[in-house]
Chains A and B, each alone.
Chain A
Amino acid sequence: MKRKEMIKNLNQTNEIVEVCLLAGKIMMQNGAETYRVEDTMMRIAASFGIQESHSYVTPTGIIFSIDGTGPTKLIRIVDRSTDLQKVMIVNSISRKICSGELSLEEAHRQLKELDTKNLAYPFWMQVAAAAIASGCFVIMFQGGWRDFFPAFIAGGLGFYCFVYVHRLVKIKFFAEFLTSFIIGIMSVLFVVIGFGHELDKIVIGSVMPLVPGLLITNAVRDLMAGHLVTGLSKGAEAFLTAFAIGSGIAIIFTIY
């Protein structure tokens, strides 16, 4: 009888750890800050009765351990993107767990479902958003309205290329490089045929949807919060992205 209870207990501990790891993985994959991920995992564990837990979160993997004889588990994070809606949903699931509204099994089921779901806006809408944002950035950077539409087209097509190339080639930096190269070609073309006027403004506006602004600020914030490893690796990712974009444009300038 006692033995059975122990096994049941162990199984439950296993599931708690799994729920914590899954929640952490979804958050980290979709652009949450490190401290929030750690905090959420520990809160979930605490509300299922595990008072002492330790989590080590990096952009490429999460290690989660509970005190005593319980298991220590590792989960690998392969690709990262930004999907703030998923971060929001995990956040609300963890709130519900903490207030006791969700059982362990139910939370596990909901997280599993969320992990495989695609909540993104339709693709055409994202392209349109990138196009509009590019056009607006031209105006914000003191460009003229006559350059709105060249940037609109270059930015939209650039974003389209980025998603398309990223689907074919899994290496993100290559996709960014190629995209900024294409944006550069288009911008020069627009200026040459007289459709666009200020090359600089058009290029800056249209590469803005690719610029790793979120990554840079998250990196510096993590560094300041004491998550040194995470901060540095996010910083490296941001630097590589900026470098890929810059060199793609740079090639155009050496030719043009």
Chain B
Amino acid sequence: MIIEQLVTSFIASAAFVIIFNVPKRLLLNCGLVGMIGWLIYVLFVEYDFDSVLATFVAAFFVAIISQLFARLYKTPMTIFSVSGIIPLVPGGLAYEAMRHAVMNDYNMAIQLAAKAFMISGAIAIGLVFSEVINQIIKKA
């Protein structure tokens, strides 16, 4: 079950960066970043943590690994963090929200949309948080 998740998240992240035109030699790294992010998310959700928290922690670690890779390969960090956050993006939730809105179930739609918004905020805060920590370490 968890292996299935690992393999699919690896392939999905690596496939995605082909659309974003990342050079071939970095495909495996991108897949790895995506896989680790998704693994953390799945584990947190499995142990009954809130999905917003799970997303935040996953995005945080994605950013840390991306920074390491960015320094190693002397590339912008975005290349790795993009592939890492793609599995975390609440596309499913946004879709569910839209579906309920269409079926005139506005209460449910607003709830889901708020959740989707919180999760995208969590991704961004996770990324920024690790960058801030990185800067503090650099300066200290």
A208 shortest CB reach to chain B, Å: 5
Does A104 sit at the interface, judged by CB under 8 A? Answer: no
Q: Is the CB of B18 within 8 A of A208?
A: no
Contact flag A140-B12 (CB < 8 Å), given A85-B21, A249-B99: yes
Q: Is the CB of B18 within 8 A of A221?
A: no
Q: Is the CB of A204 within 8 A of B91?
A: yes
Task: Give the residues from 167 to 181 in chain A that come closer than 8 angstroms, CB to CB, to chain B.
Answer: none
Does A119 sit at the interface, judged by CB under 8 A? Answer: yes
Does A24 sit at the interface, judged by CB under 8 A? Answer: no
Q: Is the CB of B94 within 8 A of A32?
A: no
Q: Is the CB of A249 within 8 A of B82?
A: no
Q: Is the CB of B89 within 8 A of A209?
A: no
Q: Is the CB of B12 within 8 A of A137?
A: yes
B interface residues, tally (CB under 8 Å): 44
Q: Chain A residues near B91 (CB, 8 Å)?
A: 137, 204, 207-208, 211, 213
Does A133 sit at the interface, judged by CB under 8 A? Answer: yes
Q: Chain A residues near B94 (CB, 8 Å)?
A: 211, 242, 246
- Bound Cα distance A140, B86 (Å): 12
Report which of B79, B98, B124, B125 forms a contact with A84, defined as CB distance below 8 A.
Answer: B79
- Bound Cα distance A137, B87 (Å): 8
A37 shortest CB reach to chain B, Å: 11
Q: Is the CB of B95 within 8 A of A246?
A: yes
- Bound Cα distance A253, B97 (Å): 13
A139 shortest CB reach to chain B, Å: 4
Report which of B18, B23, B128 forms a contact with A129, defined as CB distance below 8 A.
Answer: B18
Does B102 sit at the interface, judged by CB under 8 A? Answer: yes
- Bound Cα distance A82, B124 (Å): 18
Does B48 sit at the interface, judged by CB under 8 A? Answer: no
Q: Is the CB of A216 within 8 A of B120?
A: yes
Contact flag A92-B74 (CB < 8 Å), given A129-B15, A130-B15, A246-B98: yes
Q: Chain B residues near A126 (CB, 8 Å)?
A: 18-19
Task: Mark B1-29 against chain A: 1 for CB-CB distance below 8 A, else 0.
Answer: 00011001101100111111111000000
Contact flag A136-B12 (CB < 8 Å), given A129-B18, A213-B86: yes
Give the secondary structure class of A's interface. Answer: helix
A interface residues, tally (CB under 8 Å): 52
- Bound Cα distance A52, B112 (Å): 48
Does B111 sit at the interface, judged by CB under 8 A? Answer: no
B128 shortest CB reach to chain A, Å: 5
Please give me the residue from chain A that is nearest to B80 by CB atom.
A84
Does B36 sit at the interface, judged by CB under 8 A? Answer: no
Q: Chain A residues near B15 (CB, 8 Å)?
A: 128-130, 132-133, 136
Does B52 sit at the interface, judged by CB under 8 A? Answer: no
B74 shortest CB reach to chain A, Å: 7
Does A66 sit at the interface, judged by CB under 8 A? Answer: no
Q: Chain A residues near B21 (CB, 8 Å)?
A: 82-86, 119-121
Does A33 sit at the interface, judged by CB under 8 A? Answer: yes
Please give me the residue from chain A that is nearest to B59 by CB atom.
A217
A230 shortest CB reach to chain B, Å: 14
Q: Chain A residues near B74 (CB, 8 Å)?
A: 92, 95
**A-B residue pairs in contact (CB < 8 Å), sample of 30:** A31-B20, A36-B76, A84-B17, A84-B78, A85-B22, A87-B76, A87-B78, A87-B79, A88-B23, A88-B76, A91-B76, A126-B18, A129-B19, A133-B15, A133-B19, A139-B4, A140-B8, A159-B19, A200-B99, A204-B95, A207-B91, A209-B19, A211-B94, A214-B20, A220-B121, A220-B123, A220-B124, A224-B128, A246-B101, A249-B98
A-B pairs with lowest CB-CB distance, top 3:
A220-B124, A213-B89, A246-B98
